[in-house]
Amino acid sequence: MEKKPDILLMMSDQHAASYAGYEKGMVDTPNLDRLAADGIRFANHYTACPLCVPARMSFLTGRLPVETGVTANNQALAEMSPTFLFPLIEAGYETVLIGRMHFIGKDLRHGFVKRIGGDFTPTTWCPSREEIIKERGVFMQASGSGGCLSVIGGGESPVRYYDEEIVRLTAEYLSYPHEKPQFIIVGTFGPHFPYVADPELYKKYKEKAWLPDTFGKTPDYVEENTWLHRRQKEISLEKAIAANAAYCALVEECDRNVGKIRTIFEKYTEREGHPNIFGYLSDHGDTAGARNMYGKETFFEDAVRVPCLLAGDGLPKGKVILENTSLMDIGPTICELAGTSYRENYVDGVSLTGLWECENPSEKKNERVIVSQYFESKGGPSRWEEKEGVKSQEQTEYCYAVMLKKGKWKYIEYHNQKPLLFNLETD
């Protein structure tokens, strides 16, 4: 009987696809470059939502945010919601989460048989955050898009400590044998802000003084859109260079962790005599100064296009897939590689194995329409406040936004705003 492959996916947070050596080359990512050369790179891979929790729940379920009911970071996935982990369990896999998945609510597994290491973020946003603020100090404000520019530079941070611990826990878990085939997700926090990175790497990129081409520019389509215009930040050139340097440094740090985790995993599978598949992806990107915006929460390329790489036994080497693909496709793809399926009628994602198995692919490229959704809120997400001893939720103004990507065309619409259409080859 043919052995099932052990599968490990490393999932980072807030890594824009263009920040990789194999793309524009502004960041040194030798481990990701090697992974791309050894396997498959999905060049047009998009998140289902440019926000952490909705994106991750869409990743696990293969469904759009409007279907999961998770449209904000303070919302929990229903306990009865199926995820692609359950078919893997039925196929004999041990499903393991090492690190974070940004789960909210009581169910912190959703199909993971084992959880190793805690999450970096709280499981609920409703109670007072005073204790968290005391614990993280200045880094609390710097962890969100609103205050992301409040702390910038080289040094230590909770994010860097957390990711270091997750690498250690991965090495510990894979240092001994396991009876069942393994499906492991290693969840790190970087390169998500705070924009604080390894001092030497920060210095390296600050000396390059690189900024996105659109920094300092306010296109008409941004100025005329209420929701986009409010995301622009007034920032000095010096501070912008520092923020971008820190982000580039965080990406290179993340790349180092990719190399460490891949080595740990391959040593384990070699020792056990198992075939293996290793992958890397992220939940969403970071605009990192483009159009004077930082973080995610828009449909611009650096916010929604994310890296996705797969390599291992039985997979082609150096393959670049140009067709549009989605974060929701990963579950069905992994299930097929594991010898099972996740093809419920209501799943929006599809298996991608046909994209590299077909010897004579269709001449029509990127004909699939990729959907990404975002639920914008003016004034930030709802928050809980004590008012005369009774907790009440302060509501803000909300707006539904959607992106459709087909071929070179990208359509963006915010409710009650002028629709936008981009030709990504010329605009």
The per-residue pLDDT for range 243-292, each reduced to its tens digit, is 999 999 999 999 999 999 999 999 999 999 999 999 999 999 999 999 99
Q: Residue 4 has what DSSP assignment? A: P
Chain centre to alpha carbon of residue 306: 7
For the chain, how long is the longest CA-to-CA vector? 69
Res. 134: pLDDT tops 70:
no
224 located within any domain: yes
34 located within any domain: yes
Res. 382: pLDDT tops 60:
no
Chain centre to alpha carbon of residue 404: 19
399 located within any domain: no
Q: What is the CATH number of the domain that holds 282?
A: 3.40.720.10
The domain of 21 spans 6-362
Average pLDDT value for residue range 340-365:
78
Res. 359: pLDDT tops 60:
no
What angle, 0 to 180 degrees and rounded to 10, lies between the N-to-C axes of helices 237-272 and 199-208?
Answer: 130
The mean of the pLDDT values for the chain is: 90
The number of residues in the chain equals 427
Cβ–Cβ < 8 Å for 405, 46: yes
Locate all alpha helices (DSSP H) within 209-272, ordered by sequence.
Answer: 220-223, 226-229, 237-272
Average pLDDT value for residue range 383-403:
61
Tell me the pLDDT band of 25, cut-offs 50, 70 and 90. confident
- Phi and psi at 35, nearest 5°, equal -65, -40
Res. 393: pLDDT tops 60:
no
Q: How many whole angstroms separate alpha carbon 113 and alpha carbon 104? A: 17
The per-residue pLDDT for range 397-421, each reduced to its tens digit, is 789 999 999 999 999 999 999 999 9
Choose the weakest-confidence range: 23-37, 118-132, 170-184, 410-424. 118-132
413 located within any domain: no
Number of domains within the chain: 1
The per-residue pLDDT for range 143-199, each reduced to its tens digit, is 767 778 888 999 999 889 999 999 999 999 999 999 999 999 999 999 998 999 999
Pairing between strand 182-191 and 94-99? Answer: parallel
Res. 344: pLDDT tops 90:
no
382 located within any domain: no
119 located within any domain: yes
Q: How high is the pLDDT of residue 346?
A: 75
Q: How high is the pLDDT of residue 138?
A: 64
255 located within any domain: yes
Share of residues in the chain with pLDDT > 90 (%): 78
Res. 390: pLDDT tops 60:
no
- Phi and psi at 397, nearest 5°, equal -80, 135
Res. 386: pLDDT tops 60:
no
Res. 377: pLDDT tops 60:
yes
Chain centre to alpha carbon of residue 418: 28
Res. 366: pLDDT tops 90:
no
Res. 1: pLDDT tops 60:
no
Tell me the pLDDT band of 387, cut-offs 50, 70 and 90. very low
Choose the weakest-confidence range: 176-180, 220-224, 316-320, 356-360. 356-360
Cβ–Cβ < 8 Å for 278, 268: no
pTM: 0.92
Q: How high is the pLDDT of residue 2?
A: 78
Write the secondary structure of 350-371 as one string of H (helix), E (strand) and C (coil).
CCCHHHHHCCCCCCCCCCCEEE
Res. 385: pLDDT tops 90:
no
Q: How high is the pLDDT of residue 118?
A: 84
Q: How many whole angstroms separate alpha carbon 85 and alpha carbon 56? A: 13
Res. 394: pLDDT tops 80:
no
69 located within any domain: yes
Q: 182 - beta bridge partners?
A: 94
Share of residues in the chain with pLDDT > 70 (%): 87
Res. 363: pLDDT tops 60:
no
Average pLDDT value for residue range 326-349:
92
Which has the closest alpha carbon to 28: 250, 240, 281? 250
Average pLDDT value for residue range 33-39:
98
Res. 124: pLDDT tops 70:
no
Q: How high is the pLDDT of residue 57?
A: 98
Q: How many whole angstroms separate alpha carbon 158 and alpha carbon 143? A: 10
